Structure 1
Amino acid sequence: MADHLPYKPKPGDIPTDPGVYRFRADDGTVLYVGKAKSLRQRLSNYFAPLHTLHERTRRMVTTATHVEWTVVPTDVDSLQLEYQWIKEFNPPFNVKYRDDKSYPFMAITLADEAPRVMVTRNAKIRGAKYFGPYPKIWAVKDTIELMLKVFPIRTCNDSSYKKAMATGKPCFPGQIGKCGGPCSGRVTIEEHRAIVDDFVAFMQGGDERFARDLTRKMRAAAAAMDYERAAVYRDQLESIDAVLNRSALVLPDNEDADLFGIAEDELSAAVHLFVIRGGRVRGVHSSTIDKELDISSGDLVDQVLQRAYGEAREEGVPRRVLVPVLPPAHEELEAFLSERRGTKVEIRVAQRGQRAELMRNATLNATQALVRYKSRRTADFAARSQALGDLQEALGMDTAPLRIECYDISHLQGTNVVGSMVVFEDGLARKDQYRSFSIAETTDDTDSIYQVLARRLARLDEPEEAVPDVAELAMSDAEGVVTEASKKKRFSYPPQLLIVDGGQPQVSAAARALREAGRTDIALAGIAKRLEELWLPDDDYPVILPRSSEALYLVQRIRDEAHRFAITHQRKRRRRDIRTILSEVPGLGEARIAALLTQFGSVTSLRGASVDQIQELPGIGPVLAATIYDHLNR
C-alpha cells in the first residue's frame, strides 16, 4: 500500500477559508463530512503519511477516492452547512445516534382545532408540543392527571371528538369528568385554547404565577364565604404543588438550561440530557452514539449540540447549555444557538456547586446507559450468533469460535507479574473456567505471554480426568498456576480461538508458543490497545471490524474481562505478599505497614531503599528502620 493517497490535492489548491469538506467513495457515496476554520490546515491532517494516521481514519481516507469542499463566509455558516449535509447524506464515518426509545413523552397537539394532551412515544407528531421524556409511563400519566385538575383540556381521541361535536353528546371521558374539551359542552373552542395556552405555559416554566393566582382566588372565595369554590381552588392548588414537587428544584428558580452528561469509550458514547426550566428538571433523555473515527471529547460535544438543536424552534433552545467540556468551536456554536433562539445563548462547563453536582448525576446516568447498551448487544442470542459469525469471517476461520480464551498480563512496575485467562463459550463468560498464572521471572510482557500460553497449551492434550483441580494446582505445580475457583473444575474442550492483549509483538510471542506446542488447529489474534483492531500472525496491517459489527462488541467485552480479572488477581497477590512479609518484622503494626506501603508501593521498592530513606517516615526510628532493612535483605 502506498504511503500517500493518489487523490491528495496540492496544498496550494486548498483554500485557507472556513468551510465544509466531504470525502466520497468511488460510487459517489459521501463517507465523511467535516467543518474547519481553515480548510487547508484541517485537510492536511488527513493527507499525512498513512502509517501516522489512526487506524480508522486510515480506513476512511483509503476507502475514499476524492475529497471536495465548499467555502462559506463564516464559521457559523460552516456549522449550519455541516449539520445539513450530515442529515442529508448520513455518512457512515460520522457519529451515529441511537435514541433510547424506552422513554414516553407528554404531547399537546397544538395543530388541532381543540388540542389534546396525550402520552406517546412518537416524537414526530406534526405541530405537537412535547414535554419529557419521562423515566416511566406512570410518571407522565400521573402528571397529566394532576394537571387536568387545574387545566381541564381535551384528552379524548380524534374520532371520539369528531363524533361528540357532530352529535352534541359529550365523549365518554367528558361524561365522567376526564375530558375538558369543547366536546364536553362546558367550554367553547376559544376558551379551551386559552386553557391549553396556560397548560403549556405552566409546563414550560413551572410558572408559579398560577399558584399565586389560585391562592388569591381561594382566599377571596373564603372571605366571601363561598366555601365550595374555595375548596375547588384549594384542590387545584394542591395539584400544582404536587406537580412542582415531582420535579425537584435543582438550580435557581430563574434558571433555564440544558445539561448534557456524556460517557464514552473508544467505540461508543452515551448522552444523558436534563432539561431544566425554572430551575426544575422538566425532562430527561438518553441516547447512544456509535463512533467510527477517533474524535476528541470536545468534537463529540460539538456533534451532540448540533444534533440537539439543529432543527429546534426558538422555544426549544435554552439560555444556557451546560456541558462536560467545551467544544473547540464553542464561540461559533454559541452564535449558532443564539441565532436559533433569537437571544444570547451561553455554553458553559459545569465546574462547581449545584451545576457540577447535577453534571455528576447526568454523567452517572450516561455511564449506566452505555453499560446497558453494550450489555444488550452481547446478551442477545441472535447478536451473539451474529458476533461469532462475523468473527469467523473476519479472521478467516473454518468454523465459528464457540470457545474463546483471552490472555492478559498485569504487574506493578515489573513486580508481582501475573497472567489471566478468561473463557467465553457461545459468546458468554464461563467464569468457572477462568485461570490465573503467577510468573516468577520474566523479561517483558511478550515473554510473559509466551510463558503463560506455553503452560496452558501443555495441558490441552491431557484427558479430561487428568486436569488437576485447584488444590493440586496450588500445591503441586511448581510453575505456580492458581485459580479463583474453590471446586474441582475441568475444561470442556480446547479453544478454537486464542486472543492476547496487544499488537504484533504479543501476537508473535503467542504464535511461537503455538508452534512449539504443534497446534495448528487454533486461531490466534491480538487486540490492540484501543480495542479497535485485531492483529493476526505475520500480517502487516490489522483487521478492522466495522463499528456496527457485533463481533467488535464481543471482542471488546472479552478483552475488558481479561484485563479486569488480571488486575484483580494482581492486586490481591500484591497485598498478600507485601503484608505477609512486613507483618513478620518485629515492631511493625498496621499503621506503620500502611505508611510503608503508601511510601514505597511494593516490597521490591522497599527492599531497595536505604536505612536513612526508611527512617524518614514518621514513627520509624533508626533502630526500627535497621530492623526492617535487615529483615528484607538478609
Structure 2
Amino acid sequence: MAPQKIRDNLAKFPTDPGIYMMKSKSGKILYVGKAKSIRHRVQSYFRPSAKPHGKTGAMLRYVKDVEYIVTANVIEALVLENNLIKKHLPRYNIKLKDNGHYPYLKITVDEPFPSLQVVRNVEKDSAKYFGPYMKPRAMRQTIKLLAKIFPIRTCELQLDEKGNKHRPCLDYHIKCCDAPCADHIDTFAYKSIVKNVVRFLSGDINQVVADIRVKMELAAEELNFELAAKYRDQISMIKDAVAKQNIDTPSAIDEDVVGIAYRDSEACVQVMMVRDGKLLDREHYFLTNVESDLKIEALTAFIQQYYENTSFIPKTIILPNTIEMPNTIGNWLSEKRGGRTNIHVPQRGRKHQLVEMATKNARLILDQKDFNFAVVNDEDPALLNLQKLLGLPRPPQRIEGFDISNLGERFTVASMVVMENGEPEKSEYRHFKIRGVNGQNDYASMREVISRRFRQTTAENRFPDLILIDGGKGQLNSACHVLKQLGLAHFPIIGLAKRFERVYLPEQKDPIVISREDPTLHLIQRIRDEAHRFALHYHRKLRVQNLTHSVLDDIPLVGKKRKKVLLRHFRSIDEIRNATIEKLLAVETINRQVAENIHKHLSYM
C-alpha cells in the first residue's frame, strides 16, 4: 500500500518524459527510473491490481516519497538516469559490477604534439579516449606495439609548435619516439602519426594499412628505399597483430555481440568486440540486483551503463533479446557515436550463432565465478567451503559473530564482531551492556543483544550473510527466537559449541562435525574467538572502572585533574569530607561553586 502522501500526489505528476526517484523515510534514494510518462510509470507501481516482482515488492515497503525531474525528451531522461545512478548508487537499481577504475588510453589531440597517456577517468575535454581495458597487461602490449609502429610520444611534457629544447629520452634512441620535445619532427608529420594511432585504436585497421601502403609506394617511386622499407615493416607488424585474431566474419564491419546468463540475483554479460570482421577482444561483466524473470530490464540496464562509460560505440550492437525503449536508446547511442547505431536481435544465421557463442561463454564464466573470484581476488577459500557446507546462495562476505561475557551476576556484556571477506572490519564492532537481564542468564542476554542489533529494519541497514553465535543449541535457539519475532527467520545463523567445536544449525538435531584440520572450521573459530576477545576486553574495562571508581567521580565539576589535586592536598577522602569550604578554596583550581558541590555531596555520605 502506497503512503498517503504518494497517493495524494500521483494525479498531479506530469505526463512528460523524465526520471523519478523513490526515497526512504530518511530521504535516501532507493531507486531511479526513467519514463516516457512519469505519471503513468509511477502509477503502475501502486495500482491495487499490480503484482510486483520480488525485488520491487521488497523495495516498495520502504518507499515513503517519490520525486521526479522533467526532461525535454526521453534521451535526456536516459542520460540523467545514468548520471543519478552513478552518483547515488541506489540499492534497488541493477548495477554493473566494477572492481575499480579500469584504465583508458588517452590521446591529447588538442596539443601541438599529442601524447598517448594511460588514465583512470574519462574527463569532459577535447582529448580522445579508448577503453576501458579490463586487462592492463593487454593494454601495455598495445602501447608497446603502437610505439614500434607509430612513434607517438608517451611523456606529459608541455610542448610548443616550435622552440622545444628538451633533451631526447631513451624512447628516441630506440626509435619509439621522434622527439618532438627537441624539434626533431614538425607538427604536420607528427599529426599523420597521431591520425594513424587514432584509427588503429578505433579498429579501422584496413584504412591504416591502405594509407601506409600509399606512402610506401610513393617512397619507392622517389627511390627512397630506406623510408619505403620502414613503411613495409609497419604494414607487416600491423598484419601480424591482426592475424592473431581467431574469428573472421564475412562482413568487414564493427559489431558488439552481447550474451547474458543468469543465476539467482546475479547475471554475467559477455561482450565480443568484432572490428573489421575480426574478433579483437572479449570481456565479461557481472550485474547485481538482477531477477531472472526481468531479462529485458537487466539487459537494458547493462546497455545503458556499459555504453555510457565506453569510448567506442560500433555501428551494430547484436543482442540476445529486446530491450526497453529500443528506439530511444538507439538514438542516444547514435548521438554518442556521431553516426547511426543499429540494435539488432537476430533470430537465425551467423549473428544468431555469435549471440549463442557469447551466451555460452557467459554461462560458463558464471558457473566458474566462485572459483575465479577466489583465485583473482585472493578470497579465503574457506568462505566458499562454508557456502557449500551451509547451502548458502553465495559466499558469506559479511559474517557477524556474537558472544556473551559475565562474571557472576555483575557486568554482563555482549559483543558483535564483523568479518568482511574473512577479514576483521573493526570499525563496525559493537559492544553492549546487558540491561534487561537480572542475574547470570546467557540465553536471555543473547535474546537481548540480538534484538537490539536487528530491531532497526531500515532500507539502509546492512545485514549479514551469516550470523555466528558463540554457544551451543541453547544460545542458538534464543537467537532464532528473536529473529523469528522480528520477521528475520530467513537469516542464515549457526552456533559453535566450545567443548567439541561442533556446528549447530536451527531446527536440526545433530550438529555438523568438521575436521579440526579443515580451514572452514579455522575460519569459524577465528570469528568466534574474536567475538570472545572483544567481549572479554569490554568486560574487563568495566570491572577496572568499577575498582578505580571514587566518590569524587560523582561530584559535578570534579574531573580527573581536580580529583588528583584534591587527593594530593588532603591525602584521603575522609580529610576532604571534614574540610571546610574555606580550606577547599585554598586548593588550586577549586572555586566556590566546586567547593560547595564537594562539601554538599560528601556531607550526606
Look up the SS of the partner of 2:33 in the other structure: strand
Shift of 1:400: 9.7
Q: 1:326 aligns with which of 315, 322, 347?
A: 322
Work out whether 1:197 is the aligned partner of 2:188: no
The equivalent residue for 2:67 is 68
The one-letter amino acid paired with 1:347 is I
Look up the SS of the partner of 2:171 in the other structure: helix
Shift of 1:372: 5.9
Q: 2:355 aligns with which of 356, 359, 362?
A: 359
Identity %: 29
Kindly provide the CA deviation profile for residues 537-577 of structure 1, in whole angstroms up to 9, marking residues without a partner as x. Answer: 687676479xxxxxxxxxxxx9xxxxxxxxxxxxxxxxxxx
How far apart, in 1, do the equivalents of 2:7 and 2:301 lie? 27
The equivalent residue for 1:564 is none
- Closer/same/farther in 2, CA of residues 524 and 336 from structure 1, 3 Å limit: farther
The one-letter amino acid paired with 1:36 is A
Shift of 1:241: 0.9
Look up the SS of the partner of 1:9 in the other structure: helix
Q: Does the 8 Å CA contact 1:155/1:173 hold for their aligned counterparts?
A: no
Look up the SS of the partner of 2:61 in the other structure: helix
Shift of 1:366: 3.3
The equivalent residue for 2:175 is 177
Q: 1:278 aligns with which of 258, 264, 276?
A: 276
How far apart, in 1, do the equivalents of 2:295 and 2:416 lie? 36
Shift of 1:174: 0.9
Kindly provide the CA deviation profile for residues 486-518 of structure 1, in whole angstroms up to 9, marking residues without a partner as x. Answer: xxxxxxxxxxxxxxxxxxxxxxxxxxxxxxxx9
Kindly provide the CA deviation profile for residues 51-93 of structure 1, in whole angstroms up to 9, marking residues without a partner as x. Answer: 9544432332222211233445544343233223323433222
Shift of 1:134: 5.1
Q: Does the 8 Å CA contact 1:5/1:47 hold for their aligned counterparts?
A: no
The one-letter amino acid paired with 1:117 is L
| Uncovered stretches (5+) of structure 1, i.e. residues with no partner | 402-425, 428-517, 527-534, 546-557, 559-634
Q: Does the 8 Å CA contact 2:258/2:355 hold for their aligned counterparts?
A: yes
Look up the SS of the partner of 1:205 in the other structure: coil
Structure 1 length-normalised TM: 0.55
Greater relative contact order structure (CA < 8 Å, 6+ sep): 1
Q: Does the 8 Å CA contact 1:35/1:82 hold for their aligned counterparts?
A: yes
Shift of 1:286: 3.5
- Closer/same/farther in 2, CA of residues 125 and 72 from structure 1, 3 Å limit: closer
Kindly provide the CA deviation profile for residues 113-155 of structure 1, in whole angstroms up to 9, marking residues without a partner as x. Answer: 4222355666669655343455655544444344334322213
Kindly provide the CA deviation profile for residues 280-309 of structure 1, in whole angstroms up to 9, marking residues without a partner as x. Answer: 344544432221778711111211222233
- Closer/same/farther in 2, CA of residues 295 and 107 from structure 1, 3 Å limit: farther
- Closer/same/farther in 2, CA of residues 297 and 250 from structure 1, 3 Å limit: farther
- Closer/same/farther in 2, CA of residues 15 and 188 from structure 1, 3 Å limit: closer
Look up the SS of the partner of 2:68 in the other structure: strand
How far apart, in 2, do the equivalents of 1:380 and 1:117 lie? 35
The one-letter amino acid paired with 2:343 is I
How far apart, in 1, do the equivalents of 2:356 and 2:234 lie? 35
How far apart, in 1, do the equivalents of 2:178 and 2:290 lie? 51
Look up the SS of the partner of 1:173 in the other structure: helix
The equivalent residue for 1:152 is 151
Q: Select between 298-307 and 33-42 the one with higher mean Cα deviation.
A: 33-42
Shift of 1:235: 1.5
The one-letter amino acid paired with 1:95 is I
The equivalent residue for 1:97 is 96
Shift of 1:245: 1.8
Matching of residues 6-17 of structure 1 within 5 Å: 6-10=4-8, 12-17=11-16
Q: Does the 8 Å CA contact 1:168/1:183 hold for their aligned counterparts?
A: yes
Look up the SS of the partner of 1:298 in the other structure: helix
Shift of 1:325: 1.4
The one-letter amino acid paired with 1:366 is A
The equivalent residue for 1:235 is 233
- Closer/same/farther in 2, CA of residues 363 and 43 from structure 1, 3 Å limit: same
Q: Does the 8 Å CA contact 2:267/2:290 hold for their aligned counterparts?
A: no
- Closer/same/farther in 2, CA of residues 370 and 6 from structure 1, 3 Å limit: farther
Look up the SS of the partner of 1:335 in the other structure: helix
**Bigger Rg over Cα:** 2
- Closer/same/farther in 2, CA of residues 178 and 45 from structure 1, 3 Å limit: same
Q: Does the 8 Å CA contact 2:297/2:324 hold for their aligned counterparts?
A: yes
The one-letter amino acid paired with 1:387 is P
- Closer/same/farther in 2, CA of residues 59 and 219 from structure 1, 3 Å limit: closer
The number of equivalent residue pairs is: 416
Work out whether 1:348 is the aligned partner of 2:344: yes
The one-letter amino acid paired with 1:266 is D
Work out whether 1:256 is the aligned partner of 2:265: no
Matching of residues 196-595 of structure 1 within 5 Å: 196-218=194-216, 227-248=225-246, 250-291=248-289, 296-310=294-308, 316-370=312-366, 374-375=370-371, 376=373, 380-381=379-380, 384=383, 387=396, 390=399, 543=490
Q: Does the 8 Å CA contact 1:388/1:400 hold for their aligned counterparts?
A: no
Shift of 1:187: 0.8
Q: Select between 209-218 and 62-71 the one with higher mean Cα deviation.
A: 209-218
How far apart, in 1, do the equivalents of 2:347 and 2:50 lie? 39
Q: Does the 8 Å CA contact 2:260/2:359 hold for their aligned counterparts?
A: yes
Shift of 1:323: 1.7
- Closer/same/farther in 2, CA of residues 27 and 135 from structure 1, 3 Å limit: closer
- Closer/same/farther in 2, CA of residues 238 and 103 from structure 1, 3 Å limit: farther
Q: Does the 8 Å CA contact 2:264/2:291 hold for their aligned counterparts?
A: no
Shift of 1:226: 5.3
- Closer/same/farther in 2, CA of residues 296 and 287 from structure 1, 3 Å limit: same
Q: Does the 8 Å CA contact 2:167/2:181 hold for their aligned counterparts?
A: yes
Kindly provide the CA deviation profile for residues 396-420 of structure 1, in whole angstroms up to 9, marking residues without a partner as x. Answer: xx9999xxxxxxxxxxxxxxxxxxx
Shift of 1:330: 1.1
How far apart, in 2, do the equivalents of 1:104 and 1:372 lie? 25
The one-letter amino acid paired with 1:90 is L
- Closer/same/farther in 2, CA of residues 31 and 14 from structure 1, 3 Å limit: same
- Closer/same/farther in 2, CA of residues 79 and 213 from structure 1, 3 Å limit: closer
How far apart, in 1, do the equivalents of 2:83 and 2:363 lie? 30
Kindly provide the CA deviation profile for residues 422-461 of structure 1, in whole angstroms up to 9, marking residues without a partner as x. Answer: xxxx99xxxxxxxxxxxxxxxxxxxxxxxxxxxxxxxxxx
Kindly provide the CA deviation profile for residues 159-189 of structure 1, in whole angstroms up to 9, marking residues without a partner as x. Answer: 9x89x97644322221232222412543123
Q: Does the 8 Å CA contact 2:266/2:287 hold for their aligned counterparts?
A: yes
